[in-house]
Structure 1
Amino acid sequence: MITVEEAKAHCRIEHDAEDGLVSSLIAAAFRQIENRTGQAFEKVDGAEMVLDALPSGTGGIELKWTPVRAVNQVVYLDPLGGEQTLSAGDLSLDGRGVYPVLYPAAEWPASKSQRASVKVTADIGHAELPADVRAAALLIVGHLYENREAVVIGTIATDLPMGVELLLAPYVIHRMG
């Protein structure tokens, strides 16, 4: 992530009066980047994904995040309703696709099929923020700081040819359908 100090230096802010605003602009910039690219750039340890049942056999579970640094555990209800846990050692993560797929070491155990009976916990996000994503985030923060209203009157504006879209293009996951 970007610190408030980095964003203030980028925006040439020399006082602390707007630190709260700058912090919220950083969060907004990363939400925009994550929505635009379909990737998680903020490191989150212990992100959760809920399912209604485990697959049968050896099929995989496509995780909703990319990238996934590690899968911590899968907690599920067995057919009798008892809570069971599969640890990281019982699981295999295939990160070759756009969204990583989680497989069992052997095969999935039987699980109760009911709403929210399975919870996958994982550490997600890039281990280090790529330099081009950092630059795009700072451009967005600077734009939001300078333009605090939805409409700017009396100006002519143009997108920078080497701006945010160009910087984020390698990270965009194109969706079908």
Structure 2
Amino acid sequence: MARRIEYTGDPVITVAEVAAQCRVETDDLQKDLVELVIIPGITAQAEAKTGAAIRAAEYVEEWPESYGSGHALDVGQATGVVSIGRVESDGSVTDLQPLPAHRLQQGQRESFLHFPQGRPPGRLVIRYKAGADLAAYPAVKQWLMLHCGSVHEHRESVVIGTIVAKLPDGFLDYLLAEITVPPRL
């Protein structure tokens, strides 16, 4: 399972966009609530629902030796490999330098890491960048905007402290279908 190391890009929607979606002036919004709770909460829900990175971030995952060349990365919308390391017998990780020859095959939902000259032996630790291109998938941005508008409109009932309660699954989820990672066996 991949682990997000850090977000590297700006939030994919802005307070001004949420204000326009809600048909209110930006100054009339609770800016901190929208910026610090609603936008990150809705983005996290989309990422959890799809298995894809929405906001640009770096991820790290460990590949057992059984994962061969061409295996899918855990997080969808991968855009580039940052580093590849090998787990040594003492548990330490040695970065493979130079970076082994590799090719990242970017599919619509998944990205596959190929090693044309053969997969390096051992357990690998792969660090990579991922993030959805919302210009290519405008329905994803629409899903985010509609859900931000709904949360803002009903904030008293869905914002609990500093988190956004899970919104009910609904007919709008088809907007995320283009980037939803298929179930893994």
Question: Under a length normalisation based on structure 2, what TM-score does the superposition of the two structures give?
Answer: 0.68
Task: Give the superposition deviation at 1:88.
Answer: 5.2
* In 2: Cα distance, 1:88 partner to 1:6 partner: 40
Is 1:47–1:122's contact at 8 Å kept on the other side of the alignment?
yes
Q: 1:32 aligns with which of 32, 40, 45?
A: 45
* In 1: Cα distance, 2:132 partner to 2:97 partner: 24
Is 2:68 the counterpart of 1:68?
no
Question: Under a length normalisation based on structure 1, what TM-score does the superposition of the two structures give?
Answer: 0.71
* In 2: Cα distance, 1:97 partner to 1:137 partner: 19
User: Residue type matched to 2:39 in 1?
Assistant: I
Task: Give the superposition deviation at 1:120.
Answer: 0.7
User: Residue type matched to 1:138 in 2?
Assistant: M
Q: Which moved more, 1:135-144 or 1:118-127?
A: 118-127
Is 2:147 the counterpart of 1:137?
no
Partner of 2:42, secondary structure, is helix
Q: 1:93 aligns with which of 104, 123, 129?
A: 104
Partner of 1:27, secondary structure, is helix
Q: How does 1:106-121 map to 2 (within 5 A)?
A: 106-111=117-122, 118-121=124-127
Structure of higher CA gyration radius: 1
RMSD in angstroms over aligned alpha carbons? 3.2
* In 2: Cα distance, 1:90 partner to 1:176 partner: 26
* In 1: Cα distance, 2:152 partner to 2:66 partner: 47
Match of residue 155 from structure 1: none
Task: Give the superposition deviation at 1:78.
Answer: 4.8
* In 2: Cα distance, 1:50 partner to 1:35 partner: 20
- CA offset digits 1:129-174 (Å, max 9, x no partner): 43222121111011111112448xxxxxxx9x9x623433443344
User: Residue type matched to 2:85 in 1?
Assistant: V
User: Residue type matched to 1:122 in 2?
Assistant: Y
Match of residue 146 from structure 1: 153
* In 2: Cα distance, 1:106 partner to 1:149 partner: 56
Q: Which moved more, 1:65-74 or 1:167-176?
A: 167-176
- CA offset digits 1:17-50 (Å, max 9, x no partner): 6111101211111122222223222111x32113
* In 2: Cα distance, 1:171 partner to 1:4 partner: 24
* In 2: Cα distance, 1:82 partner to 1:66 partner: 24
Is 2:53 the counterpart of 1:47?
no
Task: Give the superposition deviation at 1:79.
Answer: 5.9
* In 1: Cα distance, 2:99 partner to 2:17 partner: 36
Task: Give the superposition deviation at 1:101.
Answer: 2.2
Q: Could you list the runs of 5+ residues in structure 2 that have no partner in the other structure? A: 1-11, 159-167
Is 1:8–1:22's contact at 8 Å kept on the other side of the alignment?
no
